Amino acid sequence: MGRLILELRQGGVTDSRVLGVIENLPRSLFLAGPFKDRWDENVALPIGYQQTVSQPSIVGLMAQALEITDRHKVLEIGTGSGYQAAVLAPLCRRLYTIERHAPLLKESELRFQELGLTNITSICGDGAAGWPSQAPFERIIVAAAAPDVPPVLLDQLSSGGVMIVPIGLDKDDQRLTKIIKAQNGVETQDLGPTRFVPFIDGRVAK
């Protein structure tokens, strides 16, 4: 784990709270089969259903860019294995997470229970629709690449809120983007290149 944390620091993750959570979170719990032995590698790994668990450096950079405090209500689009959610939960007040693949969500919920993470609420649904009944959110994180800033999610972001979303459908031309919803409009910051699966609108895979 020491090597992994060093790689995260070298990759720009400097927030001590984020690093502390990642250092104490057993990544192997979120991997299956032969991939369990690769828990300390800073690479994305498959979790089934053509999905991956992001490399720890990207997880760390996204969590850091959100600038979370323990007063924030956070929405995560794309639960996946639950790894990003497990990093975010100790940093925020409440985390709401949506996953379109029911089997992945069930596995993630069992992991949350095992880790004692009680401030996570999860549903199987269409992430493109967000979670209107719980909006607004101070922070939103999207674990799939959208062609542009998702307007529905932007509407569910509170004034002064932050959204982190990969933008660009071409895997070789995606940019991790920070959106700040200011009173006089939207500010964007380019956080660098990244690679995510595409943001699928309107479909739930049971």
Assign residue 114 the CATH number of its domain. Answer: 3.40.50.150
Residue 17: enclosing H or E segment and its boundaries? Answer: helix 16-24
pLDDT band at 48 (very low <50, low <70, confident <90, very high): confident
pLDDT band at 153 (very low <50, low <70, confident <90, very high): very high
Question: Do the domain assignments include residue 31?
Answer: yes
Question: Do the domain assignments include residue 205?
Answer: no
Q: In angstroms, rounded to a whole number, what is the distance separating the alpha carbons of residues 162 and 186?
A: 10
User: Containing domain of residue 152, as a range?
Assistant: 2-194
Q: Catalytic residue numbers?
A: 54
Question: Do the domain assignments include residue 203?
Answer: no
pLDDT tens for 177-203 read: 999 999 888 999 999 999 888 887 655
What's the pTM value of the predicted model, to 2 decimals?
A: 0.93
Question: Do the domain assignments include residue 149?
Answer: yes
Question: Do the domain assignments include residue 162?
Answer: yes
CB 122 within 8 A of CB 97: yes
Question: Do the domain assignments include residue 206?
Answer: no
Query: Which residues contact residue 99 at a Cβ distance below 8 angstroms, ignoring those fewer than 6 apart?
Result: 78, 79, 80, 105, 108, 122, 123, 124, 125, 127
- What domain count does the chain have? 1
